[in-house]
Amino acid sequence: MEAEEDKIKCNKNCTNGNELLICGGDEDVESIYGTGSNLPGPVQNLIVNFTTDDKIVLIFDSPERNGTELTEYELRAIVIATYSTNPWSMRNITRKYPKSLRKIEMSDLIPSTEFNITIIAKNGELDGGSKSVIGKTRLSKPDPKPDEPKIIKYENGKAQVEIKRAINNNGPVSNYVIVVHFVDNELIHDFDESLLTTYQKARDDGLSYYITAEIEPFKEDTKEFLVGDGGRYGKYYNAPLPDNVHFHILIGVVSRHFDDYKVTYSNSSHDETFENLQIHSHNDSSSGPSDLIVILLTIACIICGLILVGAIVFYGYIKTKINPRIRRFERHEMSLQGPILEVDNNGYIADVSGINFKEKLQEVLLSLDDDQKIIRKSLSLDIDNILGIGSFGDIIRGQLNSNIICQVHVVSADDMDPPIQTKFIRDLNSLLQFGFHRNMLNFMGICQTHDWFFVVFEDVPVTLKQFLLSNRQETNLSSQRVTNLNENDILKLMYELAETLEYLQYNKVVHKNLNSYNVRIKRHNSSYTVKLSVFGPTLYTMGDDGSKNLIDEERWHAPEVLRFQKFSHASDIYSFGLILWEMCCLGATIYGSVTTNDLLTRIKKGFRPDKLPFISEDLYQLMLNCWELDPLERSEINDVAGHLKQMQSLAMHYLNFNYDGQLPYFLPLLEIKN
């Protein structure tokens, strides 16, 4: 290229259409020549608007000269870097979009993957100007799940474990955490990972599990670690293990990138007590009198087993002879229809005798914003208007600042048992972590007096069940629609509820009590919005005679909850699928032909709510995916939310209320506790 001072000025005449231009004679004037093409320039102000673990959203302005020259945009995304080992993760992406678009959403991407994204303005098959930007998806939970650790040896309060090196397709392996979980043999439940903390804090809070160590990544295939050696690893104290206690060891793979933090935990290490581990110790290679004792005990167990089998066979024979009319294939399994105690997800009844409940409440109060600290004279209570009764106390209607209707949870510390006190503190802390969400009943604040503790929430009195039933209408010759609602209204509410559950799951909160009475509907002008109640029990429902009835919440529970009280995000998905069916059927009673006591047996045999003619196959399949018997096979809430969002664009294709048949019945007696 010639130096700047050696440039020769252009003094030629040129044309632009029929206009004669003098292009030379000034250093700041460029010559214009016709090239025979008519192509648009690049898009302007291209930026990455926001990202998730599987989505990148771009916004931009149109080219300066788009007119008839611009026919469409083409997006080309080239993978620069990824942690995924799957061959298809390196695939480049090419997609086309209409010229009217100013926002592009790239979805179904791989987490923690960096792309060079180019948007090309096109005229037919010809490429015009292009603009590029770098975009990167955020972390997701490490995948696959790490292998469970292997306990090699246990003695003197120490367990030697073998850890396998983890692979993470969704981001870096930043470090490993080692978890000790003490387990009650009669109630084996998963721990709540959102409550994991240090050994000392777990003791103070009465938790049965804690993080005992944090170790750096390693390049070897396996690494051995001594649990209980009394050392400090990271910020965690590796406390000695107590004797005669059943424990599990788990490994968590941690992935960090700037402010993002994700962790996935392995399955438990074993289902043995420490005495069994001593018997299997690698150091015990000698034989002696203990071997003889083991042999004798084994023989005795075999003999006892044969006697027991013989007794069972004999009992069955006698029972059949006494009552031959018993149908052999209709025996019902016993199922736990309600928790014996109100305990947390882990199934462990915490020892909270050493916890000062009032001190914990004071810590909560200190963490509140100033506008959430309500003085008593600002809160008036209608003590005769009891909305519900829960394990924390009564819920009554009140008024804040004389003009804001609210619902008030009235708590007395002296009336709660220690396990309930612990659960109250945990639920309250979880609630305060949420912040504001437009589709949850807004937490307004806390008021404390000498004897009482008032937790105040926004009050939206209309339940989803009431909303759906009130909008039913009889079909007639002039209109064959079964409701005055339009299909898009219902799909919008479905999507809002799914998005709210996705928010809860992101905050590692299991709702446990999802039903159409705990979902509220708020009206603003001609539009409706979901408001989900996330604290406390389902409130009373009013009967036709004015009586207040408790809702039979078990009707919305997943089968594993009906049988084992095993709550999880997957059990919330099951309940959500039932609510979707209710919304399509305008408040009809789910399982309308079955009592709650018979539900578990019928569900295990494949019984599900019926598909109605006005529900499309796609929408009903979405529900069926939520009702899988195996919790691990149910849909993820983010997938369900994505499908519901897409369905809104063609609402009547998926749900059509132009139906001249009979809607399923609402049967209130089946939905209340007797």
Question: Which pLDDT band, with edges at 50, 70 and 90, does 271 fall under?
Answer: very low
Phi, psi of 527 (to 5 degrees): -110, 160
Sequence-distant (≥ 6) Cβ neighbours of residue 607 within 8 angstroms: 591, 594
Q: Are residues 494 and 445 in the same domain?
A: no
- Mean pLDDT for the chain overall: 80
Q: Are residues 21 and 75 in the same domain?
A: no
Mean pLDDT over 298-305 rounds to 82
Cα maximum dimension of the chain: 118
Please say which residue of 251, 279, 307 terminates a domain.
279
The percent of the chain in helix, strand and coil, each rounded to the nearest 5, is: 30, 30, 45
Q: Are residues 499 and 645 in the same domain?
A: yes
> What's the total number of domains in the chain?
5
Asked whether the predicted pLDDT for residue 27 surpasses 80, the reply is no
**Cβ atoms within 10 Å, residue 562:** 23
Q: What is the pLDDT of residues 385-441, one digit of tens each?
A: 888 877 678 889 999 988 888 999 988 877 777 777 888 888 788 777 777 788 998
Q: Is residue 348 part of a domain?
A: no
Amino acid at 472: R
Q: Please tell me which residue, 498 or 123, carries the higher pLDDT value.
A: 498
Q: Are residues 536 and 655 in the same domain?
A: yes
Question: Which pLDDT band, with edges at 50, 70 and 90, does 268 fall under?
Answer: confident
Please say which residue of 97, 114, 136 terminates a domain.
136
Q: Are residues 510 and 653 in the same domain?
A: yes
Q: What is the pLDDT of residues 211-252, one digit of tens each?
A: 999 999 998 999 999 999 999 998 899 999 988 778 889 999
d(CA 670, CA 263): 42
d(CA 312, CA 315): 5
Q: Is residue 581 part of a domain?
A: yes
Q: Is residue 193 part of a domain?
A: yes
Q: Are residues 427 and 482 in the same domain?
A: no
Phi, psi of 187 (to 5 degrees): -135, 85
Domain membership of residue 451 as a residue range: 357-458
Contact by Cβ (8 Å): 364, 432: yes
Q: pTM for the full model?
A: 0.51
H or E element that contains 651:
helix 651-654
Beta strands (DSSP E) in 391-425 are: 393-400, 404-411
Q: Are residues 432 and 536 in the same domain?
A: no
**Cβ atoms within 10 Å, residue 211:** 23
What is the DSSP-derived secondary structure letter of residue 108? S
Please say which residue of 262, 279, 296 terminates a domain.
279
* CATH number of the domain where residue 443 is located: 3.30.200.20
Contact by Cβ (8 Å): 295, 167: no
Contact by Cβ (8 Å): 406, 456: yes
Q: Is residue 37 part of a domain?
A: no
d(CA 663, CA 402): 43
d(CA 237, CA 265): 19
Asked whether the predicted pLDDT for residue 53 surpasses 90, the reply is no
Q: Are residues 497 and 616 in the same domain?
A: yes
Could you give the 3-state DSSP secondary structure of residue 387? strand
Q: Are residues 416 and 445 in the same domain?
A: yes
Q: Are residues 171 and 201 in the same domain?
A: yes
* CATH number of the domain where residue 57 is located: 2.60.40.10
Q: Quick one: how many helices (H) and strands (E) in the chain?
A: 14, 27
Q: Is residue 323 part of a domain?
A: no
Distances (CA, A) of 144 to 137, 168, 500: 18, 6, 26
Q: What is the pLDDT of residues 127-175, one digit of tens each?
A: 888 999 999 998 988 988 898 899 888 888 899 999 999 999 888 999 9
Contact by Cβ (8 Å): 42, 129: yes
Amino acid at 441: L
Q: Are residues 263 and 237 in the same domain?
A: yes
Q: Is residue 10 part of a domain?
A: yes
Structure tokens at 651: 């609402």
Q: Is residue 349 part of a domain?
A: no
Q: Are residues 247 and 173 in the same domain?
A: yes
d(CA 316, CA 301): 22
Contact by Cβ (8 Å): 83, 165: no
Query: C-alpha angle 594/595/597, rounded to 5°?
Result: 125
Q: Is residue 329 part of a domain?
A: no
pLDDT at 23: 52
d(CA 577, CA 555): 13
d(CA 132, CA 43): 10
